[in-house]
Chain A
């Protein structure tokens, strides 16, 4: 099972899309004059490509309206003379990585390709090498000019993120995971998000698939992946439901996020007891989104601020990812409940909502006999139950030991 990932420029003649015999679908990334317009997963019988007419029909149905909206936004900005008034901020980009030099180099190359066109007042790239087992990451970074290398000996993603926070100098601090590459419009999209809402505390962006070569990757993306759509939105309102701001996960994912650096410093950075890798590899992004929102600052999602993420390759890896989602979410919720008593009714409501939602997913996939979906839903539910019974405390003790060992 594999989908062919196609980049389609809508201002050019629409081509047919042939498929190799082992390919049984198309992931269509549509752009107009380079700007991202939309993404569609199109399942196909194996080896049966799409004619130009068929591609055209998909474009008519899916991309015409978003394209017209993008053009309308441009002409409106011209007519309103929405020229940037304030000077652009400076930006630090932090990549936290551990023993994945090849992927890191791939990401650095994609950044190298876009940094020349940056309109930010200043731009620095930091690589935080997190408790590495060899020198390969350092060597990979040395191949790139103007990339700072830092080493964080304490193992744990949020130790690494906090090291980046301590070293960064930009007004904004963007975080990237090492399993992504940035889109050509990534920097411009981030600047656009900042211009639309300069007082936002943070920004998240679109996450598209980097490749769809395995059953697990296709399954993950077909179930929605990390996708949050092609319309920008802000998260701070009652419209996002009575669960606000507990359900900040709809904002996006930690693999592509950016914050006002001074706000992060005033919040004390990331919670190092989350995102520790095994056994609690998650929750840190939810926690920081929540704390930014609780500090009274908005967060903005911007589709043009896009990355491509290398999804889990095998089904066991993917199942484990769903398990970590449940686990990380519940660890975060337990922490929020403990540290923010004022919002306890909302935490309880969120717990109820989540139980309802997950049990519903389990029930639906069981009734419909969808074994794979049932496996994913069950894994996430199991992770959640495990997160509820003291995982956050266990993780705090582990992190304390790591700190003591390092000291």
Chain B
């Protein structure tokens, strides 16, 4: 791995042939067909320049897959990937580029129904960039709520701009902050994002369009890296796979819960909390985010635990990669290790919570069987490939797993979960509402 920063380059293939010149830095190409993200391509320095013919070779399978996925809906199977084969007839008769042209136009620029909730904690600069990207949306959302989860209210000044509702929720915990945000939201569609994210200009309208399908209760979208400057950022995005990696829509429904139940339903594959949205009615039925989970509490997975509840109640989550955000990954190894530790601890906590809530033993099996096997396999690979950095990241995950185990031994913590099945989101008593 070289240490030079990578350049992230967006290329719209619909605009015609394109040669990518060498400029001394490795590239991550983000390939689009107008509004459709169709894939990414990592190119080392020595692979540049990259000719239009090479680009066509690399893009063709992605375009074909995209066109097929936009022809027939795909349902998630065991590993979150679609299980139904595409079919020879479809492949033979499909006009790939014609189909892409047909589905590529942007939706009408209207997002009045949408309330966007941004939870933040002591990251004023990144929050400013996030709010800038919200202000430059092609379709401005009906409402923007910022929930400041810092003790001292450090985001207050940043939020003094038109169209932003500022809330202060000093009790730490991302779930608390999100629940406070949804209590203040007015729209019938609620989208959540984080302060370390920048939104693509069409994000709001794409989120709204995804809800055109009335059966959809929740939408998640594509999370691209905002920068790949440091080895830690590249390790997270490229070696660990980042947040989301698929570029075609996938529907997750109760069948997905069923086929993966024996090994712990793989709900984290549905998407990422930095890019998710819900119908407001879902919260009335299922309650708010579990306040024992998430950053500031157990670590994370409050988002996937909520998707779990949607699927268990027979609902549908749609992963629609057209709704694009760009996430600032942790730039240093220490930050990445802390993040992975928190993710794993939160993941194990969520498994415990899910097992308690529904009696699905697969969640517990995942803690004691799948995860240790995963650790062992990754450790072997890292040793074989002499990747010390991977071992150190893995160790952080193992520590997180051990922390997560402690939740199993906390009867009070687990009882709260059993009781909270029907608990609805309540506006936080301390929330301070200010319309700027």
Contact = CB atoms under 8 A, between A and B. Distances in A.
Given A82-B17, A357-B384, A61 B61 contact: no
Interface in B206-263: none
Interface stretch (B89-97, B155-163, B285-293, B408-416): B89-97
Contacts of A67: 88, 91-92
Q: Taking chain A's interface residues, is the majority helix, strand, or loop, or is none over half, making it mixed? A: helix
B64 A236 contact: no
B122 interface: no
B63 A72 contact: yes
Contacts of B57: 73, 196, 232
A196 B68 contact: no
Contacts of A66: 61
Contacts of A197: 51, 53-54
Given A80-B17, A82-B53, A357-B384, A72 B61 contact: yes
A81 B17 CA distance: 8
B36 interface: no
B433 interface: no
Contacts of A59: 88
Contact of B68 (A65, A195, A352): A65
Given A298-B47, A349-B386, A68 B86 contact: yes
Contacts, number: 129
Interface in B86-111: 86-88, 90-92, 94-97
Interface in A50-97: 56, 59-73, 75-77, 79-82
B85 interface: yes
B421 to A, nearest CB: 41
Contacts of B81: none
B9 interface: no
A10 interface: yes
Contacts of A63: 88, 91
B56 A82 contact: yes
Given A196-B54, A298-B47, A72 B86 contact: no
Nearest to B49: A199
B43 A237 contact: yes
A68 B91 contact: yes
A11 interface: yes
Contacts of B376: none
B430 interface: no
Interface string A235-265: 0111101110000000000000000000000
Report the interface size class on chain A: 35 or more
A71 B64 contact: yes
Given A232-B57, A238-B1, A353 B90 contact: no
A20 interface: no
Interface string B29-54: 00000000000001110110001111
Given A64-B87, A82-B17, A72 B386 contact: no
B44 A237 contact: yes
A238 B2 contact: yes
Contact of B44 (A70, A76, A236): A236
A356 interface: yes
B383 to A, nearest CB: 7
Interface in A79-123: 79-82
Interface of B: 1-2, 13, 16-17, 26, 42-44, 46-47, 51-54, 56-57, 59-61, 63-65, 67-68, 85-88, 90-92, 94-97, 383-387
11 contacts: A59-B88, A60-B87, A67-B88, A68-B86, A72-B61, A72-B97, A76-B97, A77-B56, A81-B17, A196-B54, A232-B57
Interface of A: 10-11, 14, 32, 56, 59-73, 75-77, 79-82, 195-197, 231-232, 234, 236-239, 241-243, 296, 298, 349, 352-353, 356-357
